[in-house]
């Protein structure tokens, strides 16, 4: 368990560099990430490189005993490059160029930018591969930040046409897959294919979903290009920093090319931008919502099923949320422990010193604008001592898994059908209810090996192919228990209706798995809560309801809505396990009751927790974390506000 910081030597006078490095070491930091936006200073004019300042800075950091994560600077193409090759610019959905003056203003599909990327990454990798301070690489910075995955320019269109040709081979196959017979949308050749923007009304969702896949692949291929070049010169691990809500590319696929997954955790900023209800935002405005942060920790652990890093951890206020409250005292320390409790190896803060100019000047650092320590520094100092006496702990496999999938997110969010629909929110509601029941949850991809889990929750498994249906059936036959949420089994991978009246191997495999057919669907208005009855009690649901017809399953619950009756929850048993189909998006009260029933049936220990108290197990040790301004009781004793209790004896040696 180590600490680090993001540092921009190019922002500060050289006189401060050595002192900065010494102070970093004194604070207990071991890692420093640098360089990711520095192209303009590394190559101020075409082919006139100036690596001297970065050499000096890396030397100083290395001499102080720090390890460097060196970022490739491709998130910020410099002005001369943009003026010389303006075709690199990204184009937004409205057809406007996203121009120079901030960052991420390039398209992954620009041949010019791919060439320039290869050149600068190769120069950097060759130059620093053997620098003694180099510990790891970071490719680019936050793919997808500022909505930068989908670009709608000339090069993007050509690349999309090629992608479609490689996928479908013949245009008739594409027309069939997209159901282009509708509204005369048939194409006669791949070079006719348009991008799904600037249409009169919404574009065809099959077209859009393929464009989303293509755009995700483009970002992943661009990242792979960088990784391959770096690996030619260096054997140091390669990372990239992903982030919550930058979800226009498939993080599971990106992870395959990386050695280390890192993510950028801004608990207060993320909460402000999340779809969580306003009262919760107010309640947690100084601590962040515990589950919002840990959901991402668990997802990013799940990308490779191995420890991740937090590359950027909020150290104070951010500058980019609608409101930017100060974190409560103690939260920087608590977030750091929370990350380690969910399997992080390194937590690194953004940034060392607050910028005195430009877009992020209202963003806090470990140090203030004037270079004096800000209050997070005190908390980091405390962590330095705490981490020294913490034993090395690793994550236990959980008994419960939650399945998460980007394609299902894209497909359902493309056609929400109910105003409040958001795949992410449904997945989060499931996670939140389980965490509120004090259960550890692993987040996995639907096609992953599920055998280790006693119970698997799958919100909105919308897009189905035969392989997936069979994979899930094998899990259930072998004794697995699967709970499938609303909007599942509705579509083929082409985003067309699966149950189209023609028996197909996929439809049979899906019906074999679930034993149901969806008879009707209801897309509710916001704030409408209808009733269902389960075990002789009424509960509420909102946003979505699938009304089931039973083929080979039994009913567990029924709707009690004035406009329809019918089955709300159905169960099909398999050789040693079962599938439960949950047709509606339940309120928290229903999820708590129903999930707790499912956990009890599998003898999985659980208990209801306060919204602000969380329990996590690491190496069979318990962490209790208090995200409130009140003292909270826990089995390990009372927890002061924004503090934690651990059953690790040595942890308390500090207090003696």
Nearer to ligand GAL, 376 or 476 (CB): 376
Q: Which is nearer to ligand GAL, 353 or 591 (CB)?
A: 353
Tell me the per-residue interface mask from 40 to 69 with ligand GAL, x by CB under 6 A, - otherwise. ------------------------------
Phi-psi region of 372 (alpha: psi -120 to 50; beta: other; left: phi over 0): beta
**Shortest Å distance, C-beta 310 to ligand GAL:** 12
605 as an active site residue: the answer is no
The kind and range of the H/E element at 332 are helix 331-341
Q: How far apart are CA 275 and CA 282, in angstroms?
A: 13
| Contact window for ligand GAL (CB under 6 A) among 138-146, 156-164, 215-223, 465-473 | 138-146
Which CA distances in Å does 185 have to 5, 38, 151, 203? 52, 46, 22, 10
One of 20, 43, 116, 142 touching ligand GAL (CB under 6 A):
142
For 30-47, give one letter per residue: b (16+ CB within 10 A) or e.
bbbbbbbbbbebbbeeee
Which residue(s) pair with 521 in the sheet?
A: 546
CB nearer to ligand GAL: pick between 210 and 312 = 312
Structure tokens at 433: 């209810």
Single out the segment in contact with ligand GAL by CB under 6 A; choices: 137-145, 231-239, 556-564, 576-584.
Answer: 137-145
Q: Rule CB under 6 A: which of 225-244 touch ligand GAL?
A: 243
User: Is residue 264 involved in binding ligand GAL (CB under 6 A)?
Assistant: yes
* Burial class of 260 by CB neighbour count within 10 A (0 to 12, 13 to 18, 19+): buried
Least Cβ distance, residue 409 to ligand GAL (angstroms): 20
The residue count of the chain comes to 656
- Say if strands 97-98 and 90-91 run parallel, antiparallel, or are unpaired: antiparallel
Binder among 252, 350, 453, 595 for ligand GAL (CB under 6 A): 350
Q: Contact 206/496 with Cβ under 8 angstroms?
A: yes
Q: Is 166 left (phi over 0), alpha (psi -120 to 50) or beta?
A: alpha
Provide the edge-to-edge strand list for the sheet that holds 644-646.
Answer: 613-618, 621-626, 644-646
DSSP state at residue 396: P
Residue 349 engages ligand GAL in binding (rule: CB under 6 A) = no
The DSSP code sequence of 114-170 is HHHHHHHHHHHHHHHTT-TTEEEEE-SS-TTTTS-S---SHHHHHHHHHHHHHHHSS
141 forms part of the interface with ligand GAL (CB under 6 A)? yes
Marked catalytic residue, from 36, 142, 530, 578: 142
By CB under 6 A, tell whether 248 contacts ligand GAL: no
The three-class DSSP label of residue 113 is: helix
Closest distance to ligand GAL from the beta carbon of 444 (Å)? 26
User: Which is nearer to ligand GAL, 353 or 572 (by Cβ)?
Assistant: 353
* 140 binding ligand GAL? (CB under 6 A): no
Give the bridge partners for 564, in sequence order: 561
The residues pairing with 458 across neighbouring beta strands, listed in sequence order, are 484
Report, in Å, the least distance between residue 319 CB and ligand GAL: 7
Binding mask 144-173 for ligand GAL (x = CB under 6 A): -x----------------------------
CB of 269 to ligand GAL, least distance (A): 6
Instruction: Compute how many residues bind ligand GAL; rule: CB under 6 A.
Output: 12
Q: Which stretch binds ligand GAL (CB under 6 A): 141-149, 501-509, 581-589, 642-650?
A: 141-149
Q: How far is the CB of 254 from ligand GAL (least distance, A)?
A: 16
Q: Which is nearer to ligand GAL, 8 or 541 (CB)?
A: 8
Provide, rounded to whole angstroms, the least separation between the CB of residue 353 and ligand GAL: 14
Instruction: Kindly state the smallest distance separating residue 6's Cβ from ligand GAL, in Å.
Output: 7
Residue 312: active-site member:
yes
Answer for which of 213, 353, 363, 462 binds ligand GAL (CB under 6 A) is 363
Which entry of 43, 116, 272, 312 is annotated as an active-site residue?
312
Among 187, 266, 421, 559, binds ligand GAL (CB under 6 A): 266
Residue-wise DSSP of 526-594: TT--EEEEETTEEEEEEEEEEEEEESS-EEEEEE-BTTB--EEEEEEE-SS-EEEEE-EEE-HHHHHHH
Pull the structure tokens for residue 451.
């055998």
Of residues 326 and 575, the one with the C-beta less far from ligand GAL: 326
CB of 358 to ligand GAL, least distance (A): 11
Q: Which is nearer to ligand GAL, 350 or 453 (CB)?
A: 350
Minimum Å distance from CB 312 to ligand GAL?
6
Q: Is 88 helix (H, G, I), strand (E, B) or coil?
A: helix
Assess contact for 134 and 70: CB atoms under 8 A. yes
Binding mask 307-346 for ligand GAL (x = CB under 6 A): -----x-----x-x--------------------------
Residue with smaller CB distance to ligand GAL, 69 or 398: 69
Q: Which residue is nearest to ligand GAL (CB)?
A: 142
Residue in 144, 333, 132 with CA at minimum distance from that of residue 223 = 144
| Beta strands, E only, 247-362 | 260-265, 308-313, 344-349
Gyration radius of the chain over CA positions: 26
Output 320 or 651, the one with its CB closest to ligand GAL: 320
Nearer to ligand GAL, 212 or 266 (CB): 266
Handedness of CA 368, 372, 373, 375 (dihedral sign): negative
Catalogue the active-site residues.
142, 312
- Binding footprint of ligand GAL on the chain (CB under 6 A): 141-142, 145, 243, 264, 266, 312, 318, 320, 350, 360, 363
């Amino acid at each position: 368990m180590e600490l680090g910081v993001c540092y921009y030597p190019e922002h500060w006078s050289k006189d401060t560099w050595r002192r900065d490095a010494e102070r970093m070491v004194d604070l207990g930091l071991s890692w420093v990430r640098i360089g990711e936006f520095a192209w303009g200073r590394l190559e101020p004019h075409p082919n006139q490189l100036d690596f001297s300042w970065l050499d000096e800075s890396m030397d100083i950091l290395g001499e102080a005993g720090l390890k460097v994560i060196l970022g490739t600077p491709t998130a910020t193409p410099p002005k001369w490059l943009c003026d010389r090759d303006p075709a690199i610019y990204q184009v937004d959905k409205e057809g406007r160029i996203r121009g120079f003056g901030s960052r991420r203003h390039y398209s992954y599909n620009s041949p010019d930018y791919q060439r320039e990327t290869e050149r600068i990454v190769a120069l950097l990798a060759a130059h620093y591969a053997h620098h003694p301070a180099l510990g790891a690489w970071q490719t680019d910075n936050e793919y997808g930040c500022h909505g930068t995955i989908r670009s709608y320019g000339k090069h993007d269109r050509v690349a999309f046409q090629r992608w479609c040709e490689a996928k479908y081979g013949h245009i008739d196959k594409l027309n069939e897959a997209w159901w282009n017979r509708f509204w005369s949308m048939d194409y006669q050749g791949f070079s006719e294919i348009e991008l799904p923007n600037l249409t009169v009304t919404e574009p065809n969702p099959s077209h859009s979903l393929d464009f989303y896949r293509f755009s995700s692949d483009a970002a992943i291929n661009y990242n792979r290009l960088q990784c391959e070049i770096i690996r030619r010169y260096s054997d140091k691990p390669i990372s990239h920093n992903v982030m919550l809500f930058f979800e226009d590319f498939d993080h599971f696929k990106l992870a395959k090319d990386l050695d280390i997954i890192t993510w950028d955790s801004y608990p207060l900023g993320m909460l402000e931008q999340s779809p969580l209800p306003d009262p919760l935002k107010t309640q947690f405005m100084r601590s962040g919502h515990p589950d919002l942060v840990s959901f991402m920790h668990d997802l990013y652990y799940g990308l490779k099923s191995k420890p991740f890093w937090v590359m950027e951890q909020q150290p104070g206020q951010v500058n980019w949320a609608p409101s930017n409250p100060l974190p409560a005292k103690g939260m920087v320390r608590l977030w750091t422990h929370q990350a380690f409790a969910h399997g992080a190896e390194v937590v690194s803060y953004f940034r060392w010193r607050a910028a005195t100019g430009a877009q992020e000047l209202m963003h806090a650092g470990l140090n203030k604008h004037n270079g004096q320590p800000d209050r997070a520094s005190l908390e980091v100092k405390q962590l330095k001592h705490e981490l020294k006496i913490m034993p090395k702990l690793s994550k236990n496999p959980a008994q419960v898994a939650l399945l998460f999938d980007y394609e299902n997110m894209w497909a359902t969010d493309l056609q929400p059908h109910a105003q409040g629909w958001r795949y992410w929110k449904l997945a989060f509601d499931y996670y939140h209810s389980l965490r509120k029941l004090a259960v550890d949850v692993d987040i996995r991809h639907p096609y992953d090996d599920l055998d280790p889990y006693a119970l698997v929750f799958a919100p909105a498994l919308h897009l189905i192919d035969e392989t997936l249906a069979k994979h899930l059936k094998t899990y259930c036959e072998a004794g697995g228990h699967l709970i499938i949420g609303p909007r599942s089994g509705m579509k083929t991978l082409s985003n067309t209706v699966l149950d189209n009246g023609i028996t197909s191997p996929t439809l049979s495999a899906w019906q074999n798995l679930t034993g149901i057919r969806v008879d009707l669907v209801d897309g509710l208005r916001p704030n409408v809560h209808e009733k269902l009855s389960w075990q002789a009690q009424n509960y509420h649901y909102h946003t979505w309801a699938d009304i089931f017809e039973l083929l080979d399953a039994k009913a567990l619950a029924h709707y009690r809505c004035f406009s329809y009756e019918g089955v709300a929850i159905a169960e099909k048993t398999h050789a040693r396990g079962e599938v439960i189909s949950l047709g509606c998006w339940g309120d928290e009260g229903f999820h708590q009751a129903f999930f707790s029933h499912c956990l009890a049936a599998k003898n999985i220990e659980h208990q209801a927790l306060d919204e602000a108290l969380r329990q996590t197990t690491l190496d069979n040790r318990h962490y209790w974390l208090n995200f409130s301004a009140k003292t909270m009781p826990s089995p390990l004793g009372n927890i002061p506000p924004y503090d934690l209790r651990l059953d690790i004896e040595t942890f308390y040696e500090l207090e003696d």
